[in-house]
Structure formats: C-alpha cells, structure tokens
Amino acid sequence: MKCKLGFQQRSVIDRITAKLETQGVCFRLTFKWAAVTLVGSYFNSNPNANKTATKHSQYRDDTLKIEKRLGGDFSSNDEMLAYIETDYLASRAFAEKWSREFTTYGSDEKKSGKASIKVLEQNKEPISDYIRKADILENVAILAGFYGRKTDGKVWGHVVAFCTNGGKSGYGSFFDSNAGLYDFESGEDRAEAIKDWIKRNYLKDGRTITNYNTIVLKDL
C-alpha cells in the first residue's frame, strides 16, 4: 500500500471543545471516509470537530457505561464478551442511522450535497477472511473493527476501512484514522496487506485481538 493522504484523528480531537469521554473518534471518522468514498465523493480531512465528537459519543454511550461500571477491568471473559456484543450492536445501529443521509463533498472539500447507502451485512470474522472468500467485491466499503485486551486487562479496540473505489486503476483504497488514506498497488493481495497492517501497527506492547466486527456498506 502507498500513502495517498496523511491523516491523524488527533488533528480532529485537538480541535474538540465539546465533552468527549472516549480516547478517540475513529468509528465516526472511518464510517464517513467509507461512505463518501463508496459514493465517489471526497473525504473532508477537516471535519467539524464538535459534531464528530457528538456523533461518536452517541454511538459509544452504552459501552462507556460498561467501562465506567467495571472501572476498566475486563479480566472477566463474560464481561469482555458482553462489552463486545454491546458495541457490535451499536456499531450496526449507528452505521445504519448514518447511512441514510450524509454530506458529500466536491474536490475542493466544500459541501456538494447528500447521499445514502445501506448496510449490506455484518459478521464477526476478520476483514482479510471476508475479502478472500468474497467472489465479487464490487461497489462496497468495509468497516473492519477489532477488539482485544491490553497487558493491564483493559479492553481496547479500533476500526479501519477498505473500499473498492479509489486507488490506482480502481483497485481499491484503505483508510486508518491514525495514519491516513492508502492506495493498493495493482495486483497487490489486499487481504494480506490489511492483515499485515493491523498486525504491524496494533499488535504490539502486549496487545491481543480476540474478536472482530466487519460491517459491509453498499451503494444504493
């Protein structure tokens, strides 16, 4: 993969003045990139920070309540699975809600109109497995969430995205809110590239991945 646009969610977080109880806003930013890229629009790399925080916090409301109740201690497998299931359901609900209508942008990153998409499916397998077994990946964007534990027993999670649009010769593109937008090289094994990216960038400092949350978006 080759970087096309550098981007870090920290650039948005640093501009937030509204209340933000989460450490990041990756799900909201990643959904927006996936949605606009899927419909052929442009990703606004300078979004309204407070609106982004509000939307992300609404999605995280139930899981934050669990974190507070447990004091961040997810050493119990039952509590861990309950947290993941709560987020699994919330991510689907908010992806469907946000998919109904969202702002699109022109090449100058000015608002150009509204668009809508749909959630085609959701499953609990790694995105790399989904890409490998899918017979035809045409006009879809995939939100690839993953969860695990840190060495102190606390839960952690992140989401990246793949879209069949963009990239060289329409070979697809990849987004990580901690790094930016990447193009796949022609003929590159996209499943393996994404799997390797996650391993290199997130499986360190003793972190593990125990569960996955893959949401497939389809252009209407």
Residue 167 has pLDDT above 70, yes or no: no
Tens of pLDDT, residue by residue over 36-84, are 999 999 999 999 999 999 999 999 999 999 989 988 888 898 999 999 9
pLDDT at 100: 95
CA distance 119 to 220: 10
The pTM of the full predicted model, rounded to 2 decimals, is 0.94
Domains of the chain (ranges; CATH) run 2-219 (3.90.70)
Tens of pLDDT, residue by residue over 94-107, are 999 999 999 999 88
Work out whether strand 211-219 and strand 155-163 pair parallel, antiparallel, or are unpaired.
unpaired
Q: 191, 187, 140, 156: which is closest to 67 by C-alpha?
A: 156
